[in-house]
Amino acid sequence: MAVASPILPTRHHSVTYSPLTENDLEETIECLCRVFPQNEPITQRAGITEKDFRPFARMFCELAVKEKVSLIMRDKQFGNRVTGFSINHDYATPAPEEIERVTPKFAPVFKVLEELDIIYRDGKSFSFGEVCYLLMAGVDHQFYKQQKGKTAVKGNQLAAKLFQLTLDIVRAEGFHNTIAHATGSFSQKGLHDLGFSEVARIDYNTFEFEGQYPFKRIPWHSCCKIYDLSLREEPIVQAS
């Protein structure tokens, strides 16, 4: 069923959700660099620092600006700063050439994601405009910790709204499916709750890279998964 494109920007409590544009680029890159090296389990285990992560964040944010299916959130409570993001692109788009120049620390991260992609791509061909890849999404939770004596909107509620709007936009752009890698238990639960289906998984304790087990015994997180969702159907969960 066709879905009308959401009217953006849109407000939710003190937050404005809007498409990622060139004007948002630097702030969004900084937000990614605060969130991912500290919170994403295999990036953290690989020892990737904010400085290491910045070139990676820049190349994919620049790509996302061009492809126009990414969102950011700005919060009036915090000086209208970028406090969340959903960075996405067409799955048929090749990775930027600059990816070859990022720190070698990314190598095991890329390898585990590549192995899941091989499973997903088996026997399939992809044309532009068919599958949207949800590459990176997150909320800077340092802004949304519950404070005693105050009623604060939790970061996970805002993230749910961000994801819902992302799916609406991707569907309105005519994509048939969307896919995402989920490297931790929290993102896996979030995708499941949104109606995504697991396609494949790789156990961290058995994943081998260059004779080592780089992601063995990561606390709270046991595996990396790849999910997909048909966009021919309405999303299951509606954010409040």
pLDDT band of residue 233 (cuts 50, 70, 90) is low
Contact 168, 3 (CB under 8 A): yes
Mean pLDDT of the chain: 90
Kind and range of the H or E element at 118? Answer: helix 107-121
Arithmetic mean of pLDDT, 196-205: 98
Q: Are 103 and 52 in contact (CB under 8 A)?
A: yes
- 3 vs 206: which has the higher pLDDT: 206
Mean per-residue pLDDT, 197-220 = 97
Fold of 10-230: Aminopeptidase (3.40.630)
Q: Residue 212: pLDDT band by 50, 70, 90 thresholds?
A: very high
Number of Cβ atoms within 10 Å of the Cβ of 11: 9
Q: Residue 172's pLDDT is what?
A: 93
Give, in degrees to the nearest 5, the angle at Cα 6 between 143 and 166: 50
Statement: residue 148 has pLDDT above 60: no
| Helix/strand/coil for 193 | helix
d(CA 82, CA 7): 19
* Euclidean distance between CA atoms 225 and 203, whole angstroms: 9
Q: Cα dist. 187→25, 180, 183 in Å? A: 24, 10, 7
Q: d(Cα 24, Cα 58) in Å, to the nearest integer?
A: 12
130: its two tokens: 């068919």
Predicted local distance difference test score (pLDDT) of residue 12:
80
Per-residue confidence (pLDDT) for residue 236, from 0 to 100: 47
Q: How far is CA 56 from CA 32, 74, 84, 113, in A?
A: 10, 22, 17, 15
pLDDT at 143: 82
pLDDT given at position 142: 83
Mean pLDDT of 128-144: 93
Residue whose structure tokens are 């939710």: 12
pLDDT score of 5: 58
Mean pLDDT value of segment 162-169: 93
Q: At 141, is the pLDDT very low, low, confident or very high (cuts 50, 70, 90)?
A: confident
For the ranges 24-28, 44-48, 88-92, 139-143, which has the lowest average pLDDT?
139-143
Q: What is the pLDDT of residues 179-190, one digit of tens each?
A: 999 999 999 999
**The model's pTM:** 0.90
Sheet of 177-182, strand order:
10-12, 15-19, 71-75, 81-90, 131-139, 177-182, 223-230, 197-203
